[in-house]
Structures are given as structure tokens and as C-alpha cells.
Amino acid sequence: MMTSASASPTLFETPVAVLALAVSLLSLATALGALGWQIAKHRLDGGRPKVYLNTAVWEPGRRLTVNRSGKWELFDGGFGAPGAENIELAQLVVENPGRTAITVYSPGLAVAGTRSKNYRISPRSFELKDFGADSSTAATSVRINPYDRVTFLFDYWSAMSRLKKEANGQGVRLRGCVSVAGRGKSSLSSKRLAWLIQPEAWMARTGRAEISPFTVIWRELMRANVKKFSSGSGDEEGGGGYLLGIIVSQAMQEFPDRPSVRDFVDALRRADQQHGRENFQYASLILSMDEALDCYGGKLSAWTFTATKPV
């Protein structure tokens, strides 16, 4: 007995089974692609902060100058050299380019190059208002809406003396960092733009050979009276930094050479009383003035204060 088998059905000379398999594979690829896109979209729409670290100079009552390149350097060109009443700061900017609000906390600086394992610090921060996009907050936990940003200003030089000692003669590397609620890892600024501060470095401004005792002392007093400088550009009239500068210069002019700390603090208090303002705190200078001046070594200019001479 003879039997016969019919040929498999075809479509356009291609077996239907092959076409069915191809359609199934295409459907699977489409489904996987859609799943991948949903996962990617979820990650893109979620909070994914971008962190930037910039060098800045703040002159209370005048201006805040920022180098937005991310490099650890400042030039006197453009708007000119800052006045004697200035302090160098680290500007930490955290942006939220996602479509979901995020909460960031513990802003600070990640430190590398010291004896200790890589860690982070949160130096003294300043709250500045009325500086537009550069206005800063001193809060340690901030909610950032989608497509918004927050800025912090840190007094990193107040921690550099200790960090340099821990580095054993090597350079200290700093990066901006912030923790994000719901995430295990901190977000950091660019590794390529990490600040490398060498042991001999004493300011970010380029081309400077010396710093005046006036500026060093003014900075120490400004740190001790930080609350008077963190509610705007200065005090209510924006002249807190200027008035403190007048008091410091008047006290310095009582001495031809560097006096003892206690004699100088007494001179500061006398100058304060002459201006009818007994609000500034001077006692902390007893502990910090000599150390602050001595750390600059040969970079410190003569004691005599010249009103027209910047840093």
C-alpha cells in the first residue's frame, strides 16, 4: 500500500511554521524592548542628581564671584580683584534633572589623599539670600523639585590645615558630595574635576604672592560672627562686613607691629564702642589669631594696614 504526505503549507514560498516562529521572536523582542524602555524611563524620570563643585569668593555687602568651570582656581580679571574683606568658599550645586522630586541631605566634601580612608566633611556653611541662582542655604536636608537646584557654600579653608597634616606632605583631593534619600551611594561631583590642593597652596586665586594680616584677621572674625553675615549680603543694611573691616583696620592702626592677641582684642573692643556697635564677638580671636597668621609664614605681608591694598 502506498501513502503520500502533503507538503507543509507555505506563504510566499516560505513555510508558515518559519513565519510563525519569526513573528513570535519579533513579538518577544518588541516586548523586551518595551520593558527595557519602561525601566530606563523610570530611572530617567526618577531623582538622579547632578553635583558640581565650584570655587567662589564672597565679599559681604558687595558680591559673590564664582568660577563655574569646576576648576580649583580664581582669576582677578573680569570684575577685578576682590577687596580686602573677602573669603574663599566652595560652592556645591545639586541639580535634579529628573521628573521626580528628591530629598538630599548631609551635603559636604569628599576627601581623598589623607592617612585616613576616603571620607567626607561638612565645613561651616553660609546662607546667602538675594544672589539669584547663587543664593545658598545652610540647611542639611533639602527637598529639590524636578528641574530645580539647590546651592551650598562651604568654608573649606577652615578644615584645610588639619587635612594637610593628615596628608603627610601629599596633595588633598576634594569633591562635592551629597546623600540622596532612598539611595545607598552618595552622589559626587566629577572625578576629573576633583580639586587637588597641594601642601604649599594657600589660596585658589592665581598670581598672588602674599596675603595681608587684615584679611586673615577679618576672616577669623567673620567666621566667629557667621550668623550676622548669613542673612543676606551682610547685616540688614548689607554693611556688616564693611563695618567689621573698619573696626579691624582701626584696631590695627594702634600698633606699628603685630601685637599680642589680648592687646589686639582690647583694641577691637575700643573701636567697636566708638562706632556704637557692641554686637561683634571678639573673644574667639584669642585662640585663633596667632595660628591663623602663622600658617601663612612668608606669605604674610607687613602688619601696617593700607585701605587701598587688597588681599
Longest CA–CA separation in the chain, Å:
130
In the chain, the percentage of residues whose pLDDT exceeds 70 is 84
Is residue 227 in a domain?
Answer: yes
Q: Pick the last residue of a domain from 173, 197, 221.
A: 197
Is residue 3 in a domain?
Answer: no
Same domain, 56 and 193: yes
Same domain, 183 and 66: yes
Residue of 218, 223, 60, 204 lying closest to 128 (CA atoms):
60
Range of the domain at 148: 50-197
Is residue 143 in a domain?
Answer: yes
Is 76's pLDDT higher than 80?
Answer: no
Same domain, 146 and 78: yes
CA atoms within 13 A on the CB side of 86: 24
Same domain, 60 and 110: yes
Least confident of 60-64, 71-75, 124-128, 238-242: 238-242
Name the more confident of 152 and 133.
Answer: 152
Residues 6+ apart with CB under 8 A from 286: 261, 262, 265
Same domain, 178 and 287: no
Q: Mind listing the pLDDT tens digit for each residue in 104-121?
A: 999 999 999 988 877 899
Same domain, 220 and 266: yes
pTM value? 0.81
CA atoms within 13 A on the CB side of 169: 0
> Number of structural domains, the chain?
3
- The helices-and-strands tally (H runs, E runs) of the chain is 6, 13
Distance CA 53, CA 57 (A): 13
Q: Pick the last residue of a domain from 197, 224, 256.
A: 197
pLDDT at 237: 44
Same domain, 40 and 55: no
**CATH code (residue 75):** 2.60.40
Is residue 6 in a domain?
Answer: no
Is residue 188 in a domain?
Answer: yes
Same domain, 181 and 60: yes
Name the more confident of 289 and 207.
Answer: 289
